[in-house]
Amino acid sequence: MANASLVSSLDADIHLVLCRFGRAGLAYIETDPAEADATTVVQNLLHGRYGWPLRVIALNVDEGWSRDVSEAMARKVHEIAEREDYELTEGTLAFMEAHSPRVVQPTLPLLVSTTLIALPHEA
């Protein structure tokens, strides 16, 4: 008898969302594998379906990899929210802030001249 699979196919990327649940702590949201694609996760972030999302992990069992895709998700949510004028929840905004690249202003050295220049004096 062949083993029955709980998941019809594991050849697709699965996205798991880690959320904060206040005093209860952290947990990955229970997700139907059929709804664990990147598009669904972005839509759920846009619509505030995750209270306090902290991180999104993508994995592909068949290919043997997993990676943090939080920055890419935050970028996509920002792009769509701006273009389509979404009003985002506090949790989604905090997620985007946490995973958006920081813009660092270069600090230029301040040069102080100690040389006095004498200007010609008109009579």
Q: What are phi and psi of 46, to 5 degrees?
A: -60, -35
Residues 92 and 73 sit within 8 Å (Cβ to Cβ): no
Confidence of residue 34 (pLDDT cuts 50, 70, 90): confident
Q: What are phi and psi of 45, to 5 degrees?
A: -65, -45
* Integer Cα distance of 84 and 80 in angstroms: 6
* Integer Cα distance of 79 and 89 in angstroms: 16
Give the pair of three-digit tokens for residue 90: 């506090």
The predicted structure's pLDDT at residue 5: 40
Q: What mean pLDDT, rounded, does the chain reach?
A: 84
**Is the pLDDT confidence value at 65 over 70?**
yes
Q: For the residues 51-55, what does the mean pLDDT come to?
A: 96
Helices (H) and strands (E) in the chain, counts: 3, 4
Q: For the residues 87-104, what does the mean pLDDT come to?
A: 88
The predicted structure's pLDDT at residue 44: 96
Confidence of residue 105 (pLDDT cuts 50, 70, 90): low
**Is the pLDDT confidence value at 2 over 50?**
no
Confidence of residue 101 (pLDDT cuts 50, 70, 90): confident
